[in-house]
């Protein structure tokens, strides 16, 4: 089950290292296919590990190493804040360093909507939700 606010786990910064990556990723994949979504962060399942999925691809310890372009306002929802949409300001391009499922250190560049998803999911690892980052759309 995806945790929803006001569950305090969602506001906690993840400080642990991942313990068992395949087990966590497997649980995340299960939920990823279960809920119609483009991204998911481990804390949303109550797992305090630095793992996110973006379009089903696991990224371990993701870190934004460079922000580019302009900040753009876009509409976002979050499974942890059901039935609400927020206007959120995000960088249009980010370079992200992460460890892949096989343990390789990688860097990838994400643009536009993909950049938005990655920033949203990395925010989850810092305990930041879109209700803090953006403004509610009535
Ligand atoms: Zn979210």
Kindly list the domain boundaries of the chain, sorted by start residue.
Answer: 8-136
CA diameter of the chain = 43
Which residues sit with Cβ closer than 5 angstroms to ligand 1, an ion? 78
Tell me the CATH class for 8-136.
alpha beta
**Strand pairing class (81-99; 135-136):** antiparallel
Q: Tell me the CA–centroid distance for residue 19 and ligand 1, in Å.
A: 22
d(CA 68, CA 58): 23
Q: How far, in Å, CA of 14 to CA of 38, rounded?
A: 21
Catalytically annotated residues: 121
Beta strands in the chain (DSSP E): 39-41, 51-54, 57-78, 81-99, 105-111, 135-136
Q: What is the pLDDT of residues 48-89, one digit of tens each?
A: 999 999 998 999 999 999 999 999 999 999 999 999 999 999
Please say whether the beta carbons of 53 and 59 come within 8 A. yes
pLDDT tier at 31, thresholds 50, 70, 90? confident
pLDDT at 35 over 70: no
User: What mean pLDDT do residues 102-109 have?
Assistant: 97
């Amino acid at each position: 089950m995806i945790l929803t606010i006001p569950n305090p786990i969602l506001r906690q910064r993840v400080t642990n290292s991942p313990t068992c990556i395949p087990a966590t990723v497997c649980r995340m994949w299960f939920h990823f296919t279960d809920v119609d979504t483009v991204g998911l962060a481990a804390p949303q399942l109550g797992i305090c590990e630095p793992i996110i999925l973006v379009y089903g691809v696991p990224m371990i310890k993701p870190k934004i190493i460079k922000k580019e372009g302009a900040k753009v306002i876009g509409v976002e929802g979050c499974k942890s804040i059901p039935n609400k949409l927020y206007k959120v300001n995000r960088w249009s391009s980010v370079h992200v360093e992460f460890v892949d499922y096989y343990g390789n250190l990688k860097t990838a560049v994400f643009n536009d909507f993909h950049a938005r998803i990655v920033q949203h999911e990395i925010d989850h690892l810092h305990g930041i939700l879109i209700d803090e980052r953006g403004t509610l759309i009535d």
